[in-house]
């Protein structure tokens, strides 16, 4: 029975060999669950912000590939802001 439990624990450690050292580092830094949760939320927010920025950059690159100049994009943006957004308000 003891041998079987050791084998199970060894297999479990093999699966989580990357997370075990990270957990040790977090514990050594005395980061509590609230702080860890706060850090996770900050990381999530940054990832979301970067993701939306990345999508925006890809859309702009796609427009540039269709030979839409920066000047025309600015004119289109001004048109939308001056006409379409005012209709909704």
What is the predicted pLDDT for the residue at 39?
85
Q: Within this chain, do residues 18 and 42 fall inside the same structural domain, yes or no?
A: no
In the chain, which stretches have pLDDT less than 70? Answer: 85-89
**Alpha carbons 89 and 83: distance in angstroms, whole number:** 11
- Count how many domains the chain has: 2
Residue 61, domain extent: 33-89
**Alpha carbons 40 and 26: distance in angstroms, whole number:** 13
* Residue burial 36-74, b: 16+ Cβ < 10 Å; e: rest: eeeeeeeeeeeeeeeeeeeeeeeeeeeeeeeeeeeeeee
What is the predicted pLDDT for the residue at 88?
58
Q: Within this chain, do residues 47 and 86 fall inside the same structural domain, yes or no?
A: yes
Average pLDDT, the chain: 80
Q: Within this chain, do residues 37 and 59 fall inside the same structural domain, yes or no?
A: yes
Q: Within this chain, do residues 48 and 20 fall inside the same structural domain, yes or no?
A: no
What is the predicted pLDDT for the residue at 68?
81
Q: Within this chain, do residues 59 and 87 fall inside the same structural domain, yes or no?
A: yes
**Strands in 1-89 per DSSP E:** none
Q: Within this chain, do residues 73 and 41 fall inside the same structural domain, yes or no?
A: yes
């Amino acid at each position: 029975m003891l041998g079987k439990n050791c084998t199970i624990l060894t297999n479990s450690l093999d699966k989580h060999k990357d997370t075990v050292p990270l957990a040790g580092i977090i514990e050594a830094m005395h980061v509590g669950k609230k702080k860890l949760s706060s850090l996770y939320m900050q990381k999530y927010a940054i990832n979301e912000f970067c993701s939306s920025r990345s999508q925006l950059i890809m859309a702009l690159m796609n427009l540039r590939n269709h030979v839409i100049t920066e000047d025309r994009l600015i004119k289109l943006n001004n048109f939308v802001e001056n006409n379409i957004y005012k209709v909704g308000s």
